[in-house]
Structure 1
Amino acid sequence: MALEEDQDSKTSQWEVSVTLSSNQPVIGTEIITTETKLVNSYHTIGAPPPPHSFVYTWYRHSIPCSVHRHKLATVQCTSCAKLNASIEKSYHCSSKCFSDAWNKHKKYHHWAANAARNNSTGNQQDVKKLRSSGSWPNLIDGSVLDENAIMVEEDNIWIKVGSSNTYVPTLYDCDFRLRLHSAAVDSSLGTRLSPDNIVVTDPVIKPSHPPRKMIRLQNTLNLNFNAQSSNDVVFSVLSYNILADSLSINAFGYCPKWALAWEYRQENLLEEIIKYDADILCLQEVQCDHFENFFEPELKKLGYSVMYKKKTGAGLFTAESEKSTNHGCATFYHSKLFKEIMKYELEFDKEASSVVNALEPRIRFKGSHRLTSKANTHIHWSKGHEDVTLFQVSAYSSFLHSDGVEEQWRKMNSQTSEPAFTFFSDKFFGTLDYIFYTDNSLIVESLLELVDRESIDNNGIPSPAWPSDHIALMASFRLRPPSHWGLSPPPFPLNPWHLVALN
């Protein structure tokens, strides 16, 4: 008994002071305990503390089951998520729990649907969607938790996620608070010298790259045109290679695996695409199942129509060939501005095969690259065939002919009149992406600003902040008035390069 009282007095005599490098956790950014010290609880001068070490435990805040409040929620009703319903009733601790509660729970959907209609013009609650809804099986990193890994406090549940003086937040932590428990331990006796010091952080956020804005051009070549009319036709085009998931596996060792996970990248990609609000979206490397299950339904909600063309291949079927042909090009367009007049599906390999086969054997391989290199298309590029790029001219050269955009000039390659890079990995960086336009019928109004290497992780992309190995390009065009078409009007879209036409 005396020993316990003595230990209690020792524990109450000391307390741990902890300072974190940041109270705002960011996915992928290490949180460090910059200063941990043991101080006298009574703030009096006395004997120094005995030799000691510190122990740390990190927890992630989680949501309890709406039925069994002492249990961790691992599944979410997807109907509640779609209805933007209150989070309180949508979470359950197991599939069985959800099934047992279904008859009562489904009545809540009618109430939530009515509430959503009534609030359609107001601010709706931002519902946290657990990563268990959809393709993710649970919230606990795929591990089995024992009772010591969960801490329950009234309606709060905390899951143990780490036990060192640093912690790197992962995708599973996004939107949740972290909690650090620190204590001092007597080095010789192994007993606690202090109660737990508890620090609770702000909710974990996703890293985001610096916002990119549209740069309006002051083109000296177009100064003689009449004043612009409010009736002028202006539209914007976004081109973005989004890196198919099948091509990212094990390909980027410098990028954390959780940041390569499609569940993480798809949300970042969609958020970025929506933010640009382009009238035409030309997306490359769109995996077939991701097009059907994610991009098409999500972008249709925003008023986009779409045409999709899957990549085709030749030769024997192999796992590698399947990986390289399970994606394609998706061209989305605002249905209020454009309508589909004609649709062409052009396969460059097939169109050029007769010409390639007629070439001499010694130049057939190189010729195939030149004739099949590629409207929205995934253009061929490979080292040793740089001249192919010369056939694939660029809108970003307008930066070099415009005043007031000196900041963008340094991000350009003045010798080739193209961006310094649109692709950046640890093995290569350069320009692989372009936006084509017809000069006699269109004027480049503005361009999405370029990025420099300083704004991207030095190792390359993708990264936690950049969801693809390419950066997006975007241009805004103004239709030239008929008086400036020259000898003849622009060609009617009777060729495969024009996939959409003005309504």
Structure 2
Amino acid sequence: MNKPTACKVAHLRYSEKSNQCDLRFTLEVKDEKYGTLCEEIKSVRQITDTVASLLRHTKNKIIKLLQDKEWDIEKYEDFNISLTRKSIPIQDEVCCKDIFQYKHMYFNIMNNRFLVIVNAPLIISLTLPKVIYIHTVVRPIIKAMFLHKKRSTIMWQKSKDKKKWTFVSSNFLYTARKEDSDYYFKVTYTPSNEDGVLGDVVEVISDDVVCTIPPLSVEYISARHQFTKEKLSNNEFRVVSYNILADQYTRDGQFEYVDCKYLSSQYRWRLSMNELLGYNADIICLQEIEYSSFHEFYKGHLTSCGFTPAFYKKGRILNEGLGFMFDRSRFQRIEVKHIVLAQQLKENGNCSDIYSVIKRNKDLKEGVLKQHTSLLLAALQCKNTKTVLVVANTHLFYHSEAGDIRLVQAVIANKCIQKFCNDIKSICNGSKIAVIFCGDFNSLPESGVYNYMVNDISKCNKELEQIGCNTNFLKKNLIYGSAYETPPFTNYTDNFKGCLDYIFYEKDAMELTKIVPLPTEDEMSVNVALPNQYFPSDHVALIADFKLL
């Protein structure tokens, strides 16, 4: 077959997430009376629909467009539209999913002929941090489809006037240097998919020039450090639990009251690291830590300060998740395990009774199974006492109306903790085991989750009724106390203030000896709410000291 003369391109893409396909092309129509129409058309159908449905939907969109432009519809309503392969129209009844295996397809409409490119990379958005500081790593933020980063190319340039640009790097990450101060950055990104098919080139210019990072405002954090000046020893240990606010959640406009220079990841990373190290902790449990921030910043700093750090993506797929660090001079790692709670319902025999209950409620079952909520379990042996400390860390589902889902998640988590403890006992030849359970439970003190954890199950009736079960559902072996009990705030923003974070501890195995006082409301509201220049997250850190019994 001779090579077609068509130079126009149409893109056909398949999204597994939405189970849809979309056809995109730029339609150009010239009319003596109405002039030239040049519009991008996007036609979306379910992947199980037919080619006829896709073409009919595309045609209807164009007719609607012409109507909106007040063109003569009768002149255009009978135009031809087809998908062809080897000059033969693809049959109407062919499923959209099946055409993704074809090569050399053409899309024909009016007098336009397009070569169809399947699953070409598409840059949905390309942004740079609002504030860029010297001596910091700058990471472009990309949302894309069918992108293969190693095959794609990037170019960094800088300019003082946004007119004359000078090349600086072709690496994906760029560390801003002192000589970049007062320059704008421009990033030019050429996307490629895994087959080497290129997408449209995208450019972005920084909002402002590169500048010097402001001094850390540590007044309020330093006040908390007064309670943790000394490291603990022997049978005492200190635990920190902290939702440090994922960078991705600072970009959605939720924290408009915060000056962008204090909301920047580089400032918040440094402020949170200053805070964490000042607590002289033995064990740190983090929630909402991102993959990039862990590997680019936290991992190296904490390792050099005597910690053994680990990170696990939420659900094994999301960009943010759980962080766990322990002082390797005090503890020896026995085992660390990452669990996706929803998967345990079918994989863990200990959870079969939970699944038998929730599967009677279709909405609840689907709500639990689709969550990516993770549980991190670590078994650490104290080098002095030989006691094994089992540390659990989680971040339960966030939705305010999902108390029943969170309670199910808490029950699954405790089943997993119990099984993990039993497994560790068999490894450690009967060593004494003590349990700490940290996290952002997204649950207020009056919730079923909190009252289940502290064994006050008489206050769980609302959630039990939603689940459709009795109190037998909430049986557990461990008796927990709450280190901070129920403070008024652990999360403090302009539109929500409440207690969501807890450190639960096994009361029969350890004694709570001290907690670091939380900041006052006056301190947290000094600049409307959290985060701000004094506090790097919208949550506050919980710090508790314990003595093993």
Q: TM-score, normalised by structure 1?
A: 0.46
Task: Kindly indicate whether structure 1 or structure 2 has the higher relative contact order, using CA contacts under 8 Å at least 6 residues apart.
Answer: 1
More strand by share: 2
Q: TM-score, normalised by structure 2?
A: 0.42
